[in-house]
């Protein structure tokens, strides 16, 4: 329950779920027209080629460009609260943590549980994830966002454990010639522009924010260059995208429910904190038809990432600099023979990465100044996969696929192996293992049976997924651990789902059961170990209902339990936590949007009132400290003054609720990243 002490809020939650249950497939939340149009939506992420979204026997969601422009996101969490089962917890500035059929996971390699991709290519190398990697994506100017939930299809390997977020770039044809200027609360400014010329399109934006807390804020720039052309029988698509972030970071405020104190929540306990990040990536895709009903495609790509930041969340405040550069290739062949569709492919990825952690000032003998870690890692991944889809009859369909993947790391320690501390230290925090090589062989597979009618799909699916250990888990050791003897995390998943449309009322409901094995964690001695088990059970729903020519209602919600399922003692817990709820895992959350479109019979005015909630959740594995959750109201509106001029408004936290975007309990204290008070951003868009 959310706020058990408040019957009014409890009734509001119950009413919302009732409306949602009585309420298009998940992707239909993005559609403005007839919900029946959703039946023609295509999904690219599942197979790297366009496929019927309605018939896909897996849980998915999508948000189109029109919805992304209406949201006008300043942060990724404003996008993903519309995805059932997804919650992006906002840190300060552009920082974030992802939850997708999972708790919000933290720790050196926890980000490996999710894949964030651009046009199907991981934005960061699988062994070098970062919890904040969503800030690399150009969400404002994307063509579409697609989300696959649970272990992904076989075109994805390591890191697609709990799901994949795939940001699709706009085609040249879909790129508008426009200029947008926005200004809002606390010195927020953004200028974005896009244009298309023949076969090339460019989209770019620059943003500046003064910050709500003292000495915080950021400058950020993003740009996407897109090419669409034909070279003889070959279809060609190419993308170059880059981003840069210069952020002054505000740290946690400390104290029980400190976010309710207007004076305290404006404070910045870490005015010295910062985060600077740069990323660039690109690919060139060439494809052509073959064999009548088949297609061949080749997609070489490259990526480059670097980040420097102060670890303000640790008392000794070390500085980390990490970077990696990659080249790779995705090759795919597909064909149709009678009732059988199939595709097969090969993926190759080569990455050179490095990490340097230093501390400027002495903190204690166990956290000394100087170099903590200095290493390079060469990572090589090779994978092959195949998938078949067999139409058993006009209504029944059987799907199945298999992927085999090999990951190899060549780690080279750039400093003296052993502890970073003097011999007199009692329990040195930092240990540098000697140079070594590691390799991991894994597989993922799935099988699904589905039944289809003209306006409904019912399916059952079982799947397995994995993630290889991240380099930071293997080579960034602590407290004298000489070798991290850990294996790949795996997950077994089963789900049942139904989606369809009933005369303007569209729905998507999925129930899932997941068990994770070999979970990597830090034990009470700060050793990186694996072998733990967790369970994840839940139900997700999304729906939309066109009430009239003007009004429509859309919403999503999820209810889930995420639990420790093995005998284990985590860092920060001095007792066995088997059976406990995993921390930072609200049992339910979601959002509802009431939309109005007055364009047909009156002024060219559209508006959206959004209500979202996050239930209470535990802040520690022992389930002794909790955050009570929150509810927020947001408003968005657009007025087309003329065919070339549109004025927009985005107002968030209308009721000026004091809340925490992220709550935590660490180092003996309640800690919060505060939510911002009432804010407004006004925009002017010019069609050129």
Q: Residue 462: CB partners within 8 Å, gap ≥ 6?
A: 446, 447, 448, 492, 493, 494, 495
Place of tokens 């000032």: 361
pLDDT of residue 481: 87
Q: What is the mean pLDDT of residues 18-26?
A: 34
Q: What is the mean pLDDT of residues 178-201?
A: 97
Burial class for 624, CB neighbours closer than 10 Å (0-12, 13-18, 19+) = exposed
- Looking up residue 331, the CATH number of its domain turns out to be 2.40.170.20
Say how many C-beta atoms besides its own lie within 10 A of residue 421's C-beta: 21
pLDDT of residue 567: 83
**551 inside domain:** yes
**562 inside domain:** yes
pLDDT of residue 109: 79
Query: pLDDT band for position 531 (50/70/90)?
Result: confident
CA distance 601 to 596: 12
**368 inside domain:** yes
**17 inside domain:** no
Query: pLDDT band for position 39 (50/70/90)?
Result: low
Supply 81's token pair: 């609260």
384 vs 528: which has the higher pLDDT: 384
Q: Find the Cα–Cα–Cα–Cα dihedral 202, 203, 209, 212, rounded to 10°.
A: -160
Query: pLDDT band for position 323 (50/70/90)?
Result: very high
Q: What is the mean pLDDT of residues 132-159?
A: 95
- In degrees and rounded to multiples of 5, residue 474 shows phi and psi of -85, -35
**Extended strands (E) in 44-113:** 51-52, 60-64, 86-90, 96-100
pLDDT of residue 293: 86
Q: What is the mean pLDDT of residues 529-540?
A: 94
CA distance 91 to 100: 17
**13 inside domain:** no
CA distance 101 to 458: 20
pLDDT of residue 526: 75
Q: What is the mean pLDDT of residues 578-591?
A: 95
CA distance 539 to 16: 15
Contact predicate 289/308, CB 8 Å: no
**3 inside domain:** no
Domain extent, residue 361, equals 24-238+249-687
Percent of the chain with pLDDT over 70: 93
286 vs 485: which has the higher pLDDT: 286
pLDDT of residue 656: 96
Q: Which of 57, 108, 106, 60 is nearest to 85 (CA)?
A: 60
Q: Using one digit for the tens of pLDDT, what is the confidence trace for 251-276? A: 999 999 999 999 999 999 999 999 99
pTM (2 decimals)?
A: 0.92
291 vs 569: which has the higher pLDDT: 291
Average pLDDT of the chain is: 91
pLDDT tops 60 at residue 11: no
**19 inside domain:** no
CA distance 90 to 100: 14
Q: Which of 38, 665, 595 is nearest to 313 (CA)?
A: 665
Q: What is the mean pLDDT of residues 399-408?
A: 97
Supply 140's token pair: 């404002």
**646 inside domain:** yes
pLDDT tops 90 at residue 340: yes
pLDDT tops 90 at residue 667: no
pLDDT of residue 573: 64
Contact predicate 102/151, CB 8 Å: no
pLDDT tops 50 at residue 517: yes
CA 164 to chain CA mean position, Å: 7
Following DSSP, what letter does each residue of 430-492 receive, concatenated? Answer: -EEPPPEEEEEEEEEEEEEEEEEETTEEEEEEEEEEEEPPPHHHHHSB-TT--------EEEE
CA distance 315 to 367: 10
Percent of the chain with pLDDT over 90: 82
Q: How many domains are contained in the chain?
A: 1
- 291-298: long-range pairs with CB below 8 Å, 24+: 291/335, 293/335, 293/336, 293/337, 294/333, 294/334, 294/335, 294/336, 295/49, 295/332, 295/333, 295/334, 295/335, 296/332, 296/333, 297/48, 297/49, 297/330, 297/331, 297/332, 297/333, 298/329, 298/330, 298/331
pLDDT of residue 33: 37
C-alpha pair distances (Å), 44 with each of 41, 100, 153, 170, 376: 10, 19, 12, 13, 35
Query: pLDDT band for position 385 (50/70/90)?
Result: very high
pLDDT tops 60 at residue 228: yes
Q: Residue 619: CB partners within 8 Å, gap ≥ 6?
A: 583, 584, 625, 626, 627, 663, 664, 665, 670
């Amino acid at each position: 329950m959310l706020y058990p002490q408040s019957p009014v809020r409890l009734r509001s939650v119950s009413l919302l779920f009732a409306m949602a249950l009585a309420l298009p497939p998940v992707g239909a939340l993005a559609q403005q027209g007839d919900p029946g149009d959703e039946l023609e939506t295509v999904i690219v992420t599942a197979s790297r080629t366009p496929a019927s979204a309605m018939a896909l026997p897996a849980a998915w969601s999508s948000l189109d460009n029109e919805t992304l422009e209406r949201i006008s996101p300043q942060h990724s969490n404003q996008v993903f609260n519309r995805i059932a089962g997804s919650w992006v917890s906002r840190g300060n500035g552009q920082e974030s943590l992802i939850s997708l059929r999972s708790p919000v996971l933290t720790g050196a390699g926890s980000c490996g549980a999710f894949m964030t991709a651009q046009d199907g290519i991981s934005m960061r190398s699988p062994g070098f994830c970062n919890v904040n990697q969503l800030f690399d994506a150009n969400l404002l100017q994307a063509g579409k966002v697609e989300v696959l939930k649970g272990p992904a299809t076989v075109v994805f390997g390591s890191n697609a454990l709990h799901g994949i977020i795939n940001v699709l770039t706009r085609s040249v044809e879909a790129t508008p010639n426009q200029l947008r200027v926005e200004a809002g609360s606390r010195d927020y400014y953004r200028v974005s522009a896009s244009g298309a010329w023949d076969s090339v399109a460019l989209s770019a934006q620059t943003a500046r924010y003064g910050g709500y807390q003292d000495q915080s804020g950021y400058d950020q720039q993003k740009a996407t260059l897109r090419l669409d052309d034909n070279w003889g029988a070959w279809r060609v698509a190419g993308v170059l995208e880059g981003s840069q972030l210069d952020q002054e970071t505000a740290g946690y405020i400390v104290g029980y429910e400190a976010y309710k104190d207007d004076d305290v929540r404006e404070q910045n306990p870490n005015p010295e904190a910062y985060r600077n990040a740069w990323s660039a990536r690109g690919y060139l895709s060439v494809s052509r038809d073959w064999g009548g009903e088949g297609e061949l495609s080749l997609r070489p790509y490259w990526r480059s990432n670097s980040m420097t930041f102060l670890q303000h969340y640790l008392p000794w405040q070390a500085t980390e600099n990490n970077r990696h550069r990659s080249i790779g290739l995705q090759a795919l062949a597909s064909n149709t023979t009678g009732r059988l569709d199939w595709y097969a492919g090969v993926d190759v990825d080569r990455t050179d990465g490095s990490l340097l952690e230093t501390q400027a000032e002495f903190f204690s003998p166990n956290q000394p100044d100087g170099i903590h870690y200095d290493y390079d890692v060469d990572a090589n991944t090779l994978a092959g996969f195949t998938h078949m889809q067999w139409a058993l009859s006009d209504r029944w369909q059987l799907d199945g696929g298999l992927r085999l993947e090999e990951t190899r790391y060549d780690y080279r320690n750039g400093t003296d192996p052993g502890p970073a501390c003097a011999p007199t230290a009692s329990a040195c925090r930092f240990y540098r293992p000697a140079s070594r090589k590691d390799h991991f062989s894994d597989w993922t597979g799935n099988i699904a049976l589905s039944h289809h009618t003209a306006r409904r799909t019912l399916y059952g699916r079982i799947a397995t997924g994995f993630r290889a250990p991240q380099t930071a888990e293997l080579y960034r050791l602590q407290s004298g651990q000489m070798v991290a003897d850990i294996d790949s995390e795996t997950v077994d998943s089963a789900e049942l789902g139904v989606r369809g449309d009933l005369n303007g009322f569209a729905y998507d409901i999925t129930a899932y059961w997941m068990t994770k094995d070999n979970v990597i964690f830090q034990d009470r001695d700060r050793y990186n170990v694996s072998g733990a088990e967790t369970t994840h059970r839940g139900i997700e729903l999304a729906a939309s209902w066109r009430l009239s020519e003007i009004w429509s209602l859309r919403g999503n919600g999820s209810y889930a339990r995420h639990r420790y399922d093995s005998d284990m003692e985590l860092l920060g817990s001095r007792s066995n936590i088997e059976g406990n709820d995993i921390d930072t895992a609200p049992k339910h959350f979601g959002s509802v949007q009431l939309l109005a479109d007055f364009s047909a019979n009156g002024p060219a005015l559209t508006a959206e009132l959004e209500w979202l909630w996050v239930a209470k959740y535990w802040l520690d594995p022992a389930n002794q400290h909790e955050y009570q959750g929150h509810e927020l109201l947001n408003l968005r509106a657009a007025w087309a003054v003329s065919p070339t001029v549109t004025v927009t408004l985005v107002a968030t936290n209308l009721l000026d609720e004091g809340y925490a975007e992220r709550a935590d309990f660490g180092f003996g204290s309640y800690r919060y990243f505060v939510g911002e008070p009432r804010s407004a951003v006004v925009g002017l868009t010019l069609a050129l």
